[in-house]
Structure 1
Amino acid sequence: MNSLDPDDSLSIELCLDEAHTRDAIDVMHRAFAEYTAKGETSGAMLETAESLAQEIAAGERVAVVRRGGEAVAVAKHHPTANGSLYFGRLGVIPEERGRGVARLLVQRLREAAHHEGLSGLACTVRAEEMANIALYESLGMTIVSRGVRTSRTGAVLQVVDMADDAL
């Protein structure tokens, strides 16, 4: 399923196939490199095209946003047992931040969720990422719980779980 934004320069591929995981990993690594620079390496940096292809084969979906054919944003997503569409690893390359790419991707994921008969979106966000939390709140999501998660790197992170108001 592909969609275009109003200026016709962005395309969104909601279900990347296993053969094209390199684009998604490249974006993921560029988007999450800032944590390494802060001394807090993200588990996203441990992912590879091969590990992502294995996840896709097991049912995970990967959305990629492209501008002029170049991958600029990515998000993993899958339906949950509670009837929502969970997304994670949403990342936008630094040069594209502040241009509405993440907003558009979340909106398209919500549309896909409703098209599938799901109740809405859910995600988990590092509690320190106030801008991400504010973005998701502006898109109709609320914090439903707070907790701690251990990253693939072993780091212990404070997180918030967010969901659409309807959930």
Structure 2
Amino acid sequence: MSTGVWIDQIGIDLDAGTQQVDEAIVVMHSAFVEYGHQGQASGAMVETADSLRAELSTGTRLGLARIGGQAVAMVKYRTADGGTLYFGRLAVSPEARGRGLASALVRALRGAARDMGLGGLSCSVRAAETRNIMIYEHLGMAIIGREDRRSLTGAVIPVVLMRDV
């Protein structure tokens, strides 16, 4: 698997590792803080560099996207039981949105899944985030189910389950 690729001048490192956890947490928090303003804080806001390092030690991997050397987007991912590459916490810093970073990360992850012999990507998305759902559908994913998930904050959040079609 290629871990460092450039897509439209965006540097993507799908094997960022523990040395870049601090940057990833900054990006994650800047991207997910808006949920608190909407009345339902994201579990991402209680994640720390230490908790992310601990998660990486159990097999989760970290991807970062950079523009001009600055981390502006991140994603966590792992192999899922269903034979897919499951991604979560895909986050783009507010000041970097609208530049195709989420799409670039999803495409890079799909390439990694293919290289690993997996059957594509899977993820879950807050059901209320119709824009994110539409982005993933545009990128070849479909809703395959719905459920409620308990956030790290304790809140129960309706989500849609998505998978490559």
8 Å CA contact 1:19, 1:53 repeated in 2:
no
Residue of structure 1 equivalent to 2:118: 118
Q: What is the distance in 2 between the residues matched to 1:132 and 1:38?
A: 16
Residue of structure 1 equivalent to 2:161: 161
Gaps of 5+ in 2: none
- SS at the partner of 1:78? strand
What TM-score do you get using the length of structure 1 for normalisation? Answer: 0.95
Runs of 4+ in 1 over 2 A off after TM superposition: none
Q: How many Å apart are 1:147 and its aligned residue? A: 1.1
Residue of structure 1 equivalent to 2:83: 83
Please tell me the root mean square deviation across aligned C-alpha atoms, in Å: 0.8
Residue of structure 2 equivalent to 1:65: 65
Residue of structure 1 equivalent to 2:4: 2
The amino acid of 1:4's aligned partner reads W
Q: What is the distance in 1 between the residues matched to 2:24 and 2:139?
A: 24
Residue of structure 2 equivalent to 1:145: 145
1:12 aligns with 2:12: yes
Q: What is the distance in 2 between the residues matched to 1:49 and 1:20?
A: 9
The amino acid of 1:98's aligned partner reads G
The percentage of counterpart residues that share the same residue type is: 49
Q: How many Å apart are 1:60 and its aligned residue? A: 0.5
Gaps of 5+ in 1: none
Q: What is the distance in 1 between the residues matched to 2:132 and 2:88?
A: 12
The amino acid of 2:20's aligned partner reads H
Residue of structure 2 equivalent to 1:48: 48
Q: How many Å apart are 1:39 and its aligned residue? A: 2.2
Q: What is the distance in 1 between the residues matched to 2:143 and 2:20?
A: 33
